[in-house]
Structures are given as structure tokens and as C-alpha cells.
Structure 1
């Protein structure tokens, strides 16, 4: 069976936060070359942004900026190195406007998606939710563990959790054979 690569329209959004879903747009193991990148075109970024609720305008420069922000978010959330994220945050706040109710960015600005994602990432890294940040035991995606006892091991029970349980079952059966 040939697996079709995920797209911005059908990728799982299991991160529990837009900034984590951004990090999860790249498929592969941490520290290895990426197997697949969901953000290839402005249309991909528009689709992703609409799905996570951060806008709908994008161009080629916004795709590059989103990919740069993704790398900055990954460094911040995996390695606690927030320097690059701070650069993106400063750019976002310089382009935005603080109004009653929070920060806003003009919808017609193609970089507004990136600015909103940078803002979301800074909110997450400075929030109490950061202690719920986990990496999936199977695929290495990042997610917020919102389970009651904070014991979630997989980004998604439907995918990675099921795969892990299948592997355990097969191994158990293999070992129980005479």
C-alpha cells in the first residue's frame, strides 16, 4: 500500500496549540532530515492557517517566514532556546497593534499569519501550559498533555497510540509462541 504524503488540508492537528501544530507540519524524526514538509506553497500555508484559525492570506515570503518561525518554535519548545522566537515575536509586535482585547494584525498583510503564530508561540512559552508540553513516544510530534493525570504518551491515540499497541500485541504474541 502506497501512503500519500500528508497535506495542510488533511494533516492531523494533535498539538493542542497552533504553535505546536506549526512545528508538527514537518514529518520525520527529530535531528534527522525531514521526510515531508506540509508547508510548501502559499496555498498550503493558507490552508493550514485557516485550520488553526490564524488567518487566510499568504504569499511566498510568508511561507519562508512560517518555515523560519517553525524552526524557532522547535528550538524554543524542544531545546528551551527562545532567542530566535524572540526575534519573530519582536517583528510580530512591531507589525501589530495592541487594542482592547489583544493584539491585531491587518488581514490583508500576508505575514499576518506568521505574526499571529509568533504571538501564539510567545503566549505558550510564557504560560503555565508549558509544563504540559510533551513529545510523542512514537512520532516525536509535540503536543499539550491535557489528560487529567498528565500521563498521555502519544500525540493521538487514533494513530500513534494504536500503532504502539499493535506493536506490543505482535511482540507479545511472538514471544508467547513455543
Structure 2
């Protein structure tokens, strides 16, 4: 019996939060796809799994979503739409086809990115020291987020900050799509030769090629 596919056993093979988010379908190349984010509740489960929201924040959002099912359904749909945008954007980058990316796709990406970054705030947790004194580590400005108990898109804003970080801090040559399932991943190997998101996909792809090779040889005889 095959193992049930759910958030708890969903692999985190992306190497970056935004890629983990993109990889919440079992494959971008096969139909029908298994959808891991099948409800707003599973979005919150995933947020807990990747540790992007506090336990209290998740509880507040869960309570609000339960009382506003229409808003939760709309948020879920928007999350999935942005996920598609992220996939098309980063897969075009991985395949060297950004020049062919439609203007509407780029605009959709930039709109989501701007919305996410606009939620960032910096706070100072400790009192400012006297002039000339050195700042202690806990006195540095700390990044935080504009938190609203009714903002059902809160997980998305953290994802978009991750997308920004990948674009501004990572080598574009290390942004790749899995040769088997289409999942996105950041190749962190020393030689930058990784082709699959994980060993399972690598084994499946090799088995397919072996089968096709055998079938081709048999057809020749």
C-alpha cells in the first residue's frame, strides 16, 4: 500500500522557502497532480512545517478562517495562483527563457513581491544606548512583519521575501527544475551538477531511460 501523501510527509527538497512552496504539488509535469494545499487548514499546516509563522499566529489565523470560510477559500485560491506565477517565473529563469516570459507574468510576480515586501517592519527591542556606546546584539533593528489576525495571506508574504532573497543573493545558475517532476530546487552541491530534486526522482528517471533504451533495442531486432 502506498504511503498517504500529506503535509506531514511532504519532502522539503527545494533548498529555499519559496521553492518549498512551489513544490506543494507532487509534479508540475504530470496530470492529474496531487494537491498538498487542498484547504486553508493545510496551508497553516505547511506554514508550521516550514516554521514561518508562530504558533499563536497560526492559531489566530485558523480561528479567523473557521469563522470566515469564504475569505479562507479566496485566500487559498490566491495562494495557488501566486504559486503558479512563482513556478513559471523561476522555471523560466532555470531554463534560460526569461526573455520569453509574458509581460503579464512578470507583472503578476512583481505585484506579489511588492505586496510581500510592504509587510516588512523593523523594530528595536532594547533601549537605545547612550551616544558613543556600542550596540549590543539585541539592540540591533530586528526584522518583523506587519501582523494582522485577519491577514489570511500572511504565509505568502514570507514566501515572497524568500523569492526576493533567492533572486538577490543566490547564483542564478543554481536555480533548477527537477528533470523528472519539475519541482524547483537550489543546487547547493559543490560541482553544481544536481539534476533531480531528490534521489527518488533520480531513480525513477533512470529507470524510465533504461526501459526506453531496452524497448528501442528490442524494436530494432
The alignment's TM-score, normalised by the length of structure 2, stands at 0.67
Secondary structure at the counterpart of residue 97 of structure 1 = strand
Q: Distance in 2 between matches of 1:6 and 1:130?
A: 31
Residue 68 of structure 2 corresponds to none
3-state SS of paired residue (2:190): coil
In the other structure, the counterpart of 2:130 is: none
Which of these residues, 22, 44, 47, is aligned with residue 46 of structure 1? 44
Q: For the Cα contact (< 8 Å) 2:19–2:185, is it kept in 1?
A: yes
Cα 1:34/1:102, change in 2 over 3 Å: farther
- Please name the residue that 1:73 is paired with: 86
Mapped to 1, the partners of 2:27 and 2:32 lie a distance apart of 5
For normalisation by structure 1, the TM-score amounts to: 0.81
- Report 1:111-122 matches (<5 A): 111-122=153-164
* Structure possessing the higher radius of gyration over alpha carbons: 2
Matched, 1:152 2:152: no
1:125-164 alignment, distance < 5 Å: 125-157=167-199, 159-164=200-205
CA deviations 1:122-145 (Å, max 9, x no partner) are: 221233243211111111111111
How far has the Cα of 1:15 moved from its partner?
0.7
> Paired residue for 2:77?
64
SS state of the match for residue 26, structure 1?
A: coil
In structure 2, the gaps of 5 or more residues are 66-71, 93-97, 124-140
Secondary structure class of the residue paired with 2:155: helix
Picking from 92, 96, 113, the partner of 2:116 is 92
Distance across 1 between alignment mates of 2:32 and 2:213: 32
Q: Given that residues 129 and 144 in structure 1 are in contact (C-alpha distance below 8 angstroms), is that contact kept between their aligned partners in structure 2?
A: no
- Where structure 1 has 5 or more consecutive residues not aligned to the other structure, the ranges are none
Aligned-residue CA RMSD (Å): 2.8
- Write the distance in 2 (CA, Å) between the matches of 1:128 and 1:16: 11
**Which has the larger share of helix?**
2
Query: Aligned partners of 2:32, 2:16: CA distance in 1, in Å?
Result: 22
Moved more, 106-115 or 67-76: 106-115
Q: Deviations over 1:39-94 (max 9, x none)?
A: 11122101111112212345424322321221121122012453212111222233
Number of paired residues?
Answer: 174
